[in-house]
């Protein structure tokens, strides 16, 4: 008994008190990484705001021959604004109660939005045949033309006065729900049904069959592709059911690692990504460079995130590092976002080409986790360590691929089933949920617990976002597949990272011989899961 009790006490201790030598105390973002002092930041921010106001007044009436130079000025101003965003973000991550930094950050974002909106409006006035003369900003002008709202004036008014505020109230009401209350499921169902109805009407007013189809197109995907991918994942669902039966067993966690050991493990696993990638990652993870913060503690945001900036070192902040393999995997993921941004900065494409569909960002980051967990399993020095890493690899892959497929199938069915019908009720949502997950589950109760779908907050807060996770998984397993066989992988992958988003996603992925609709990608992932499960039985 006393022994058990001691173990319990140790487990309950705050994480920071456990491994004395994790080395995380030294891991802090340097306060002078972006500005020499707070006073210098403030002075620069004030003069930048005045510059934004002058530009916003100048842009709408800018003469055609003045546009190229003006676009360069807007670009430089955007880069400068982002450096302030990064600095202020760092302050709010380090101290959640810093209201002044939060308000200043909001003001900088507002300046950036004003600049964007004004510029987009001006670019729409550029006649199509003059767009090529804009050089590196030509694609931005094309996107501005494509983006024109297709709503009728009436539909636009309805959208502004009804749809958008109602969506905000639905997300807020969801936030107030107590999951344990008996009344919560019917209320959640009616919130969800109202949201779906609003979204579908809004999409139909724009000429789409439903809101799901609209969202998929905005992500450079299509409903036909989603159906193909879901069918491909469903065809391999047996491996997920086998995995579920296996999860009852759980190997003991190996000893926690110090930051130095974690760093070495990460860098070793990234060997297939090339020397440039690993040396950049090494620099990010070196506390002496003041670009990473792992210290945790009171007042600090509990999150993992990279801090985006275009003309200074990218930084990375994470509060959950405890030396466990799971937390090292998160470092590989979040640090991957930072290094991706760094490569885009080195690539030097215009700022508008350094953002794109979320599933690509996430796919690159999840790929890092697969590399890490696979490497940890292959190089573990004890049977327990090998089993633990193998289990974590399996959990990661099955969660990203199969749980995401369930969620995407569920949300898509909700939106397609609701078109042209009365809003869904709780029984209908429960039924659609049950049908959507049935192919993937090894055992399914007669009646589903509504709380299972109620807890998926993105359904209520960011409609149709979940599909991003499915394609992030597809991209990650595709890269993991290519890295095993492509001898030129490192060079091609680096080229891809540097390009940012200078082309459509299809073209970007084609440069790695990846096609999202290729069913073999899912087959290969399922085969890999089977092999890993066989490793566990040895
Ligand atoms: Zn991420």
Find the 472 Cα to ligand 1 centroid distance in Å: 10
Find the 332 Cα to ligand 1 centroid distance in Å: 10
Residue 26's pLDDT is 79
Residue 150's pLDDT is 67
Find the 366 Cα to ligand 1 centroid distance in Å: 7
Find the 334 Cα to ligand 1 centroid distance in Å: 6
Find the 368 Cα to ligand 1 centroid distance in Å: 11
Residue 515 region by backbone torsions, left for phi larger than 0, else alpha for psi between -120 and 50, else beta: beta
Residue 16's pLDDT is 41
Backbone angles phi, psi at 462, to 5 degrees: -145, 75
Q: Are 115 and 52 in contact (CB under 8 A)?
A: yes
Find the 444 Cα to ligand 1 centroid distance in Å: 31
Find the 57 Cα to ligand 1 centroid distance in Å: 37
Strand bridging mode 292-293 / 304-307: unpaired
Residue 6's pLDDT is 34
Find the 123 Cα to ligand 1 centroid distance in Å: 32
CA distance 371 to 60: 49
- Strand order across the beta sheet in which 304-307 lies: 292-293, 315-318, 304-307
CA distance 348 to 412: 38
Find the 337 Cα to ligand 1 centroid distance in Å: 7
Q: Enumerate residue ranges in the chain where pLDDT < 70.
A: 1-23, 147-150, 248-249, 538
Find the 427 Cα to ligand 1 centroid distance in Å: 34
Find the 183 Cα to ligand 1 centroid distance in Å: 34
Find the 506 Cα to ligand 1 centroid distance in Å: 21
């Amino acid at each position: 008994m006393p022994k058990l009790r001691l173990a319990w006490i140790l487990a309950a201790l705050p994480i920071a008190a456990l491994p004395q030598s994790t080395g995380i105390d030294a891991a802090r973002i340097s306060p002078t990484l972006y500005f020499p002092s707070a006073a210098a930041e403030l002075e620069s921010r004030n003069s930048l705001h005045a510059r934004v106001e002058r530009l916003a007044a100048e842009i709408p009436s800018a003469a055609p021959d003045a546009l190229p130079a003006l676009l360069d000025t807007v670009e430089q101003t955007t880069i400068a604004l982002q450096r302030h965003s990064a600095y202020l973000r760092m302050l709010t991550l380090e101290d959640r109660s810093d209201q002044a930094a939060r308000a200043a950050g909001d003001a900088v974002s507002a300046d950036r939005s004003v600049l964007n909106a004004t510029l987009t409006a001006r670019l729409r006035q550029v006649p199509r045949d003059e767009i090529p003369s804009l050089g590196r900003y030509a694609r931005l002008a094309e996107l501005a033309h494509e983006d024109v709202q297709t709503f009728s004036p009436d539909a636009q008014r309805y959208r502004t006065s009804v749809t958008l505020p109602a969506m905000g109230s639905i997300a807020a009401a969801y936030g107030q729900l107590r999951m344990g209350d008996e009344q919560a499921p019917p209320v959640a169902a009616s919130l969800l049904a109202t949201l779906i109805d609003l979204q579908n009407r809004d999409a139909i007013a724009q000429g789409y069959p439903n809101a799901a189809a609209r969202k998929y197109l905005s992500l450079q995907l299509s409903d036909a592709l989603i159906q193909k991918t879901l069918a491909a994942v469903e065809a391999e669902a047996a491996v997920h059911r086998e995995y579920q039966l296996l999860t009852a067993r759980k190997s003991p966690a190996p000893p926690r690692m110090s930051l130095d050991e974690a760093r070495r493990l990460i860098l070793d696993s990234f060997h297939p990504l090339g020397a440039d990638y690993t040396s950049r990652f090494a620099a990010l993870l070196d506390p002496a460079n003041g670009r990473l913060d792992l210290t945790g503690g009171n007042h600090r945001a509990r999150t993992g995130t990279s801090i985006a900036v275009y003309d200074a070192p990218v930084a990375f902040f994470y509060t959950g590092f405890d030396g466990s393999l799971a937390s090292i995997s998160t470092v590989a993921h979040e640090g991957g976002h930072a290094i991706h941004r760094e490569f885009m900065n080195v690539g030097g494409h215009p700022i508008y080409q350094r953002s794109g569909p979320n599933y690509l960002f996430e796919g690159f980051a999840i790929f890092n986790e697969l590399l890490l967990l696979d490497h940890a399993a292959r190089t573990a020095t004890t049977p327990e360590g090998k089993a633990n890493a193998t289990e974590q690899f399996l959990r990661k892959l099955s969660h990203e691929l199969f749980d995401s497929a369930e969620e995407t199938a569920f949300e898509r069915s909700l939106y397609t089933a609701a078109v042209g019908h009365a809003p869904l009720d709780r029984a209908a949502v429960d039924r659609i949920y049950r049908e959507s997950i049935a192919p993937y589950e090894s055992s399914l109760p007669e009646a589903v617990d509504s709380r299972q779908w109620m807890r998926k907050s993105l359904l209520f807060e960011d409609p149709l976002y979940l599909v991003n996770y499915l394609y992030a998984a597809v991209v990650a397993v595709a890269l993991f597949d290519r890295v095993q066989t492509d001898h030129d992988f490192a060079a091609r992958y680096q080229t891809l990272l540097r390009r940012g988003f200078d082309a459509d996603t299809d073209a970007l992925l084609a440069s790695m011989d990846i096609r999202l609709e290729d069913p073999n990608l899912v087959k290969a992932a399922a085969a890999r899961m089977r092999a890993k499960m066989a490793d566990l039985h040895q």
